[in-house]
């Protein structure tokens, strides 16, 4: 802790600044705060925790040790790399592609103008189920919802007549590729931590999904595409902005800061 005035912060003259330490080079203080708020550092259970973002930090707590790693999951969930970018606007999950939610269904929502990152994940999961996407991520060119356009093969999500801007809302092979890259990085991190601990996914008591992107992910879709380990849905817990809540706890509680200082001996590092 230091006096805020010493680093130029214009706060009350008696204000102090507290900065939690990094765990390792790419596992920073925000993940420390997330682990605190999610209870991972205090549990005796076997828990996998993911803070999903452009970088996804992952930790595994098992028998008194915590293994952590960081994965370069990329911009897939931010939406701005998608063909029909909808970030910062009206966010929409994927319209119907599967037999569970058929095209043309009456969705009570604002007219879509694009698709966000979590919506593309839904679209990929439903596309796999409906046979629109194969195991390599390619679009089935003979499927009635797939057409060849200036973007290459595209899959129709919302026809122009139901869209908010009068154009078809689609996703492309490049959109699928963004999800594949994120899925590969995140799943690799999960599997490495499980291997280091000498356990399998079936041994997990729970899986915590945190972060702004983690809030909007559909867990079933993430499991379907292989991004998250396949355990019972009841073992998953989405906790939102746990890093923000952890930061509040560190500021307000001396006991929480003391608990944080005791962590380094519990960590095994991977990054």
228: which residues sit within 8 A by CB, 6+ positions away? 50, 186, 187, 190, 207, 209, 219, 222, 236
pTM of the model: 0.79
The two structure tokens encoding residue 16: 């102090």
Tell me if residue 157 falls in helix, strand or coil. Answer: strand
Among candidate residues 64, 38, 61, the one with its CA nearest the CA of residue 51: 38
Cβ 243 vs Cβ 31: under 8 Å? yes
Q: What does the pLDDT read at residue 219?
A: 94
Q: Where do we find the tokens 């507290």? A: 18
Q: Alpha-carbon distance 4 to 18, whole Å?
A: 9
Tell me what pLDDT residue 189 has. Answer: 95
The 8-class DSSP code of residue 238 comes to E
pLDDT of residue 210: 92
Question: What tokens does 147 get?
Answer: 């057409």
Q: Give the pLDDT of residue 84.
A: 53
- H-run or E-run covering 215: helix 212-216
CATH class in words for 2-74+203-269: alpha beta
Closest CA to 67 of 82, 77, 57: 57
Question: For residues 225 and 124, is the Cβ–Cβ distance under 8 A?
Answer: yes
Distance CA 126, CA 137 (A): 12
Q: CATH 3.30.420 spans which residues of the chain?
A: 2-74+203-269
Number of H helices, E strands in the chain: 7, 11
- Per-position pLDDT tens, the chain of length 271: 677 777 777 777 778 777 777 777 667 788 888 888 888 878 889 999 999 877 899 999 999 888 999 888 876 665 545 555 544 444 444 444 433 343 444 445 677 777 877 888 898 999 999 999 998 999 998 999 999 887 788 898 888 888 888 888 888 888 899 899 999 999 999 999 999 999 999 999 999 999 877 888 899 999 999 999 999 999 999 988 888 888 888 888 888 777 776 665 445 554 4
């Amino acid at each position: 802790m230091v006096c805020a005035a010493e680093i130029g912060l214009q706060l009350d003259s008696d204000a102090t600044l507290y900065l939690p330490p990094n765990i390792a080079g790419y596992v920073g203080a925000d993940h420390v705060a997330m682990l605190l708020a999610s209870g991972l550092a205090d549990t005796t259970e076997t828990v996998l925790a993911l803070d999903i973002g452009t970088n996804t930090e992952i930790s595994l707590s098992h028998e008194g040790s915590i293994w952590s790693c960081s994965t370069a999951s990329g911009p897939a969930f931010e939406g701005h790399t998608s063909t029909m970018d909808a970030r910062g606007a009206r966010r929409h999950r994927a319209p119907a592609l599967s037999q569970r939610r058929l095209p043309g269904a009456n969705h009570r929502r604002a007219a879509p103008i694009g698709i966000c990152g979590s919506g593309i994940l839904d679209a990929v999961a439903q596309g796999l189920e409906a046979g629109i996407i194969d195991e390599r991520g390619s679009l089935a060119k003979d499927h009635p919802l797939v057409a060849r356009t200036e973007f290459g093969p595209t899959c129709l999500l919302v026809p122009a007549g139901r869209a908010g801007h009068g154009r078809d809302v689609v996703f492309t092979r490049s959109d699928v590729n963004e999800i594949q890259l994120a899925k590969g990085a995140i799943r690799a991190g999960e599997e490495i931590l499980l291997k280091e601990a000498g356990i399998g996914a079936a041994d997990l008591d729970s899986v915590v999904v945190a972060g702004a992107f983690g809030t909007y992910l559909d867990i079933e879709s993430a499991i379907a595409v292989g991004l998250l380990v396949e355990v019972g849905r009841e073992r998953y817990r989405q906790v939102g902005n746990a890093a923000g809540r952890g930061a509040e706890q560190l500021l307000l509680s001396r006991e929480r800061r003391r608990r944080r200082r005791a962590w380094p001996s519990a960590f095994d590092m991977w990054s």
